[in-house]
Amino acid sequence: MTSEEVFFKWMPEYSVNIKTIDDQHLELVKILNRLFIAVSKREGDKAIAGILDALTSYTKTHFALEERLMREAKYKDIVPHMEEHRKLIAQLDELCNKHLLEDKPIYFEMLSFLKTWLKEHIQGVDTKYSAALQQSGFSVARWEKEASAEFALMSESKRWWEVWKAA
C-alpha cells in the first residue's frame, strides 16, 4: 500500500492505553484500508465480499473481547457501550447482506461511515472505559494474560486475512 492510498491513517491519539485493544483496533483500520483499495481498484464482488466478511467477523470477535473486559472489570457504563456495538454489528450485517444478496456495489459513503464510526467510538466510549478501568485499579495486565488464549485465536484467524492483505 503506497502512502497516498492510505484511507484511514492510524494516529497515536487513537490509543486507549491497553496494548491488546490497540492492536485489535489497528487491525480493524487495516481491514478498512484493504476494503478501500478493493473498492477503488474495482477488484470485483468476490474479493470485496471476502474483505467484508473479514471485517464483520473480526469486529464481532473484538467486540466480544472488549465486552468481556468491561464485564470482568465491572465497568458501570457497559450497557450503553454494548448497545453501540450491537447497532454497528446490525449495520454491518445489513451491509453484507445487501452486497451479497442484492449484488449492490459497495459505496465510498459506507467506507467513510465505518471510518468515522470507528474513530469516534475509539476516541469516545473506548477511551472512557479504559480510563475508568485504570482509575479503578483493575489490573488490565493480568486480564490480558488471562485472555491470552482468545488473543492467540484472534491472531490465528488473521492468517486467512493475509490472503486479502496482498493488495
Footprint on this chain of Fe ion (rule: CB under 5 A): 66, 126
Q: Which is nearer to Fe ion, 105 or 124 (CB)?
A: 124
The C-alpha atoms of residue 147 and residue 144 are separated, in whole angstroms, by 5
Q: Which is nearer to Fe ion, 100 or 143 (CB)?
A: 143
- Minimum CB separation of residue 85 from Fe ion in Å reads 6
Q: Do residues 67 and 146 lie in contact, with contact meaning Cβ atoms separated by under 8 Å?
A: no
- Minimum CB separation of residue 73 from Fe ion in Å reads 13
Grid cell, residue 123, equals 476516541
How many residues in total does the chain contain? 167
Q: Do residues 167 and 50 lie in contact, with contact meaning Cβ atoms separated by under 8 Å?
A: no
- Minimum CB separation of residue 125 from Fe ion in Å reads 6
Q: Which is nearer to Fe ion, 22 or 66 (CB)?
A: 66
Q: Which amino acid is at 120?
A: E
